[in-house]
Structure 1
Amino acid sequence: MRRQFSSSFRIWHWLQAIAMFGLFITVVLRESVMHKSQIGSIVKTKLAEMGTVITDEQAVLIGKAVRSPMWDWHIYLGIAVAILLVWRIALIIKNGFGFDQDPHMQKVYKLYRVVYVLLSLMSVSGLILYWKVAGGSKEIVESVHMYIGWSLFAFIAIHIIGVVLAEKSDQSGLVSRMINGAE
């Protein structure tokens, strides 16, 4: 069965893909080349070469300041994901979800329900961190947020593999339908 996708769903899908990709990039950069210690070490070394000595703590503060604009994008994209999730829920309410009789599609719909729950939890935990209402539980909320985020990034990899496999099966043209609504 060749599933058709509404224009509102396709727009939602690609905006969600862009937002999630942006979140992934900001996380990877934050944990690698844009890590506060990495940047701080570079700044400390270069300043020492110019005759200025700073402490490790000062270097980390500079590292945080340098990467702050990039991290602002993580926040903006996270808020976009939360808004897009509300849009997706509205689409589900309007159009229904998961009533296909095909057993494979029933499994797919169950997986997507899990993904939407995870997106909800990630959005809520991100907003709690943004509004600084976690209190003494900040580390727990950060951990939950991080683990959910990585599980969603794993889902994205599985999703892409599934799309490739679908294109090689009786669902060829899936990507075309998701881009322009027709094959």
Structure 2
Amino acid sequence: MAIIEPANKEIGAIRKGKRYASSTRFWHWINFIIISGSLLTVLINSTLFDHAQRDFVKGELMDAGASVSVKQAGAVTHGLEDQVWGIHIYFGYALAALFLFRLIAEFFLPPGQKLLPKLKKAYQAYFILKKEREAAKHELVVKGLNIIFYLLLLIMVVTGLLLAFEDYTGISGNINHSIKEFHGFCMYLILAFIVIHLAGVFLAERKDGKGIVSDMINGGEN
């Protein structure tokens, strides 16, 4: 009996299933790395290689014995900026691939782990059944924010690809400039979402949601 009982517990755990599927966990962490890398390239270009650094580059080159003008120093910073933007574009390609992976993976998730059914369930619990309204409200807010995040990712992917292939799309320069501005604006919204997400996880870990981070690593249990 002592041998059978642990086996039964193990079978029960297997049947119980994971709270987060392996595909969701893979997407979550790789997506975090890709977005962080993409934001880092933006930070580098906006601080180290912006126009204000031309005088600094000129001074450093002149201290090294070179004779350069501000225009030549600007060409150097612009070339370095282009190199970093090239890395940013590759991060964008990876983000697009991950977004497509997430869409495909959603179709293969168990019904209880799919985003829209979970949102519908929370909506019904809060507005129709009116039971456990506090938990339903929390779930509704979380899943609503997730959908907003996915929409922002979609916009970032589409606008980013349009910018990456602007030489082939036939879109005018003025419209491309507007797309670039909108792309950058959405980046700040995603950054704001990440801050809110991290704050929410931190608060949940301190209250009744302890183990969220470890569940996103090992899957957790339903």
Output the CA distance in 2 between the equivalents of 1:37 and 1:131: 28
Taking the aligned partners of 1:174 and 1:167, their CA distance within structure 2 comes to 7
Which residue is 1:78 aligned to? 92
Q: What percent of counterpart residues are identical?
A: 32
Structure 1 portions without partners, runs of 5+: none
Once the two structures are TM-superposed, the CA of residue 85 in structure 1 deviates from its matched residue by: 0.8
Deviation at 1:86, TM superposition (A): 0.9
Q: Shift of residue 139 of structure 1? A: 1.3
Larger mean CA deviation between 131-140 and 169-178 belongs to 131-140
Match of 1:122 in 2: 156
| CA RMSD across the alignment | 1.8
- Which structure: larger Rg? 2
Look up the SS of the partner of 2:117 in the other structure: coil
Query: For the residues of structure 2 that align with 1:142 and 1:165, how far apart are their CA atoms?
Result: 35
Q: Tell me the distance in 2 between the aligned counterparts of 1:85 and 1:129.
A: 18
Match of 1:26 in 2: 41
Kindly provide the amino acid, as one letter, of the partner of residue 175 in structure 1: V
Equivalent AA in structure 2 for residue 147 of structure 1: F
Using a 3 Å threshold, how does the CA distance of structure 1 residues 89 and 41 change in structure 2: closer, same or farther?
A: same
- For residues 60-80 of structure 1, what are the alpha-carbon distances to aligned partners after superposition, in whole Å with 9 as ceiling and x for unaligned? 221021233322221111111
Residues 7-54 of structure 1, C-alpha deviation per residue, up to 9 Å, x if partnerless? 11101100000001111111111111232541x323311333425132
**2:27 pairs with 1:12:** yes
Indicate the residue corresponding to 2:131 in structure 1.
Answer: none
Residue identity opposite 1:162 in structure 2: G
Amino acid at match of 1:41: D
Deviates more, 1:117-126 or 1:43-52: 43-52
Q: Which amino acid aligns with 2:143?
A: Y
Deviation at 1:91, TM superposition (A): 2.2
2:204 is matched with which residue: 126, 144, 166?
166
TM-score (norm 1): 0.89
Distance in 1 of aligned mates of 2:66 and 2:217: 56
Residue aligned with 2:116, SS: coil
Q: Where does structure 2 lack aligned partners over 5 or more consecutive residues?
A: 1-17, 123-135
